[in-house]
A and B are shown apart, each in its own frame.
Chain A
Amino acid sequence: GQNIDQPTEMTATEGAIVQINCTYQTSGFNGLFWYQQHAGEAPTFLSYNVLDGLEEKGRFSSFLSRSKGYSYLLLKELQMKDSASYLCAVLDSNYQLIWGAGTKLIIKP
């Protein structure tokens, strides 16, 4: 079956760095997405990786290793507004998105 695993919850301190991991087992692979979702709101797109390596976009970076079925989202200089759920999703061979359950990130002052 298809499966995406990410931690349920993480806690970090304002100004620090946090890494949210995601491992996947899917039928085919056409890319991996990270989305941010604040409570009660729709998800917003953060990043897309289809090739191995690190993609940097401001305070957020995303890494992919296809051979390991592994990705992480790195958040630097954490701000209180970064408190949200972070969703990992993989585009499978049928171009359907397979979603992880999300990681709730709690930022403490």
Chain B
Amino acid sequence: GAVVSQHPSRVICKSGTSVKIECRSLDFQATTMFWYRQFPKQSLMLMATSNEGSKATYEQGVEKDKFLINHASLTLSTLTVTSAHPEDSSFYICSARDLRQDNSPLHFGNGTRLTVT
């Protein structure tokens, strides 16, 4: 079945540095990928919608200059957390939808646990 690969699974970085998270659709093409963040004991919160070849659409309250999203191909989207701060420590999850089916389920990556020290 369709698989989404997310890398890295865990990352620890120092305050002020940048971290890049990759999300790849392995056996399908995804024009749209979604980036979520989940704080402990809370539901998934959509951060942005990433469309191949165009600028990402950010949800209210999400700083686009801090969370840089690039979706350069139909199989790869990246999220870069710039000038990381301890409050950015969270679980980041990407998901993608198969182009072939309008109402297909989202397929999720395994998530990236970011810890900023």
Contacts and interface: CB of A to CB of B under 8 A. Distances in A.
Interface in A1-51: 30-31, 33, 40-45, 48, 50
B56 to A, nearest CB: 14
Contacts of A87: 43-44
Interface in B88-117: 91, 93, 102-111, 113
B105 A99 contact: no
B68 interface: no
Contacts of B109: 42
Contacts of B46: 96-97, 99
Given A99-B43, A101-B43, A41 B111 contact: yes
Interface in A41-86: 41-45, 48, 50
Contacts of B91: 40
Interface residues of B, number: 20
Interface residues of A, number: 20
Contact of A100 (B43, B105, B111): B43
Main secondary structure of the interface of A (DSSP, over half): loop
30 contacts: A30-B102, A30-B103, A31-B103, A33-B106, A40-B91, A40-B113, A41-B110, A41-B111, A42-B93, A42-B108, A42-B110, A43-B44, A43-B93, A43-B108, A44-B108, A45-B107, A48-B103, A48-B104, A48-B105, A87-B44, A91-B103, A95-B102, A96-B46, A96-B49, A97-B34, A97-B106, A99-B43, A99-B44, A100-B43, A102-B43
The 4 closest A-B pairs by CB, nearest first: A42-B111, A42-B108, A45-B105, A101-B43
Interface of B: 6, 34, 42-44, 46, 49, 91, 93, 102-111, 113
